[in-house]
Amino acid sequence: MNKPTGRHKTSQLTVKKIEAISKPGRYSDGDGLYLVADNKNAKRWLLRIIVQGRRRDIGLGSYKNVSLAAARDRARDYRRDAREGLDPTVTQRKSADIKTFEQLAREYHTKHKAHWKNPKHRQQWINTLTQYAFPSLGHRRIDEISTPEIVSALSPIWHTKLQTAQRVKQRIATVFNFAKGQPGQFSGENPVNGVGDILKVDRKKNRPRHFKAIRYQDLPEFMKWLRNDELPTMSRLGLEFTVLCACRTGETIGAKWTEIDMDKALWTIPAERMKMDEEHCIPLTSRCLEILEVVAPVTKRGGWLFESNRSRRPMSNMAMLQLLKRHGWQFTIHGMRSCFRDWCANETGFPPAAVERCLAHGVQNKSEAAYHRTDYLERRKEIMSAWQAYALSEVDGSQNVVSIAAGR
C-alpha cells in the first residue's frame, strides 16, 4: 500500500484552531508550512523548504495580514519555484521594498505605543534604540543585519550598562520578529538569538565592586573638617553637596542648573544620566540650597552646578577624590552612599524601600518591584533632612561659606 503524500488532514490547521492558539510555539500545517505564535495576538507564517540543497526559512507575513488560504497559496508557489531550481528568497527580495532597521523599529513603535500604558516606557523604548542601536544598525536594510553586527552594537554598553544593554537587545529582537511578519522583509532565524551568550561576561569579573566607606560614626567629624576655608572651594562644596544628596560623583559633576527647582527644593536628574536609566528626583535640604545659592553667581552662566576653576566646564571627576587623597582620607566618595545606608539601617526606622529610593537603586526582587508604585518623595524629604542633621551635627552654622566669587 502506497504511503499518502501531502499534508495529513488530521494535522492541518483550520481557522478555528488558529484562533484558539494562545501558547507560544510553532504549529505545523504540513508540507513545511508553519504558524509561529509569539503570543495569542502575534502569529506569523513560516515556510521551511530545501532550495538548491540548502534549507530556507521564508516568512510569509503575519496571520492578521495573510489568511490561511493565502499562506497555503504562497507556500505552494514557493515550493514550485524551489522544484524548478529557483531561490524563492532571492525572488522575494527582488520584488520587495526592503526597509531599514530604523524604519521598521519606528513603524513598530508607532503601531504599538498606544498599547503601552506608561508614557515613560513608550518614550524609553524608542529612545534606547535611537541612542544605542540606530547609529550602527539604523541605516542598514533589515535583511543585511546579522549576529556580528548586533554584537558590535551592544558591546560598548554590555560591560558598563548591562541592564540597558539587555533591554536594547530585547527591543532589537522585537524589531526582527516584527519584520518577519511583514511580507518580503526578513526570514530565517532571529539574529539576536545567541547574542547574550557571545557577550556574556565572566561572573567573577562581574562581581560588584565594594567601595571603601567612612564609618557613619566618623562622618560628623569629617563634615566639620570639610568646612575648612583653606580647601579648594568648588571641590569641597561639591563634595558636601554629594554627601548630603547621597548621590554618585557623576551625577554631581554632570548636574546642570536646568535640573534644579529652587522653589520646590528638588533636583531632577534625567534618565540618560542615571545608572538605572530612570529619572531620579532628589529632595534638596536647606544646606544643599544654601550651597547652590553660594555657587550660583559664579556657575549659572556656564550652566553647570559645579565648575572647574580653570574654565566654564563641569568640575573634573577626580577633583573631589583628589581632595580626599591629598589629605589622607582612606575612603572613596562612592563609599559615602554605603555610609548613608548603614546610618539609615542602624540609627533610624525609615522604611528600607524608601532608603533604596534615596539611592536610586533598582528593586532586584520582581515580585517586590511590582508593588513599588510610589517614589516615597515625602518620606524621602524626611530622610534627607534627618541625614543632614546628623552629618552636620558637629558643624558650627556660623562657618557657612558666604561667597566664592573672589579668589576662585
Separation between Cα atoms, residue 27 and residue 9, nearest integer Å: 14
pLDDT of 237 reads: 95
Q: Residue 113 pLDDT more than 80?
A: yes
H or E element that contains 253: helix 249-253
Separation between Cα atoms, residue 330 and residue 289, nearest integer Å: 28
Specify if 245 maps to a domain: yes
Span 27-55, pLDDT tens digits: 988 888 998 887 777 788 888 888 777 78
Sign, CA torsion 227/233/236/242? positive
Given 95, 126, 143, the domain boundary residue is 95
Q: Residue 370 pLDDT more than 80?
A: no
pLDDT of 246 reads: 94
* The total number of structural domains that make up the chain: 3
pLDDT > 70 in the chain, percent: 86
pLDDT of 368 reads: 45
Give the amino acid at 136: S
Separation between Cα atoms, residue 108 and residue 175, nearest integer Å: 7
- Shared domain for 173 and 299, answered yes or no, is no
- Shared domain for 257 and 375, answered yes or no, is yes
- Shared domain for 105 and 91, answered yes or no, is no
- Shared domain for 192 and 227, answered yes or no, is no
- Shared domain for 312 and 335, answered yes or no, is yes
Specify if 2 maps to a domain: no
Specify if 206 maps to a domain: no
- Read off the pLDDT band of 89 (50, 70, 90): low
Specify if 380 maps to a domain: yes
- Shared domain for 166 and 33, answered yes or no, is no
pLDDT of 342 reads: 93
Given 95, 127, 148, the domain boundary residue is 95
Cell numbers standing for residue 347: 540609627
Sort strands 54-62 and 260-261 into parallel, antiparallel or unpaired: unpaired
Q: Residue 250 pLDDT more than 90?
A: no
Q: Residue 402 pLDDT more than 60?
A: no
Specify if 167 maps to a domain: yes
Q: Residue 369 pLDDT more than 60?
A: no
pLDDT > 90 in the chain, percent: 31
Give pairs for 325-328: CB < 8 Å, separation 24+: none
Specify if 109 maps to a domain: yes
Given 37, 70, 95, the domain boundary residue is 95
Q: What mean pLDDT do residues 123-147 have?
A: 87
Sheet holding 266-269, edge to edge: 260-261, 266-269, 280-283
- Which CATH number do you get for residue 65? 3.30.160.390
Separation between Cα atoms, residue 172 and residue 175, nearest integer Å: 5
- Shared domain for 234 and 377, answered yes or no, is yes
- Shared domain for 75 and 107, answered yes or no, is no
Specify if 404 maps to a domain: no
Cell numbers standing for residue 28: 505545523
Specify if 210 maps to a domain: no
pTM (predicted TM-score): 0.50
C-alpha 154: how far from its chain's center?
Answer: 12
pLDDT of 400 reads: 42
- Shared domain for 90 and 108, answered yes or no, is no
Residues of the domain holding 15: 10-95
Burial class (CB in 10 A: 0-12, 13-18, 19+), 25: exposed
- Shared domain for 134 and 149, answered yes or no, is yes
- Shared domain for 288 and 356, answered yes or no, is yes
Are the CB atoms for 327 and 337 separated by under 8 Å?
A: no
- Which CATH number do you get for residue 330? 1.10.443.10
- Which CATH number do you get for residue 168? 1.10.150.130
- Shared domain for 244 and 347, answered yes or no, is yes
The mean-pLDDT minimum among 42-46, 88-92, 400-404 falls in: 400-404
The mean-pLDDT minimum among 257-266, 330-339, 397-406 falls in: 397-406
Q: What is the DSSP letter of 256?
A: B
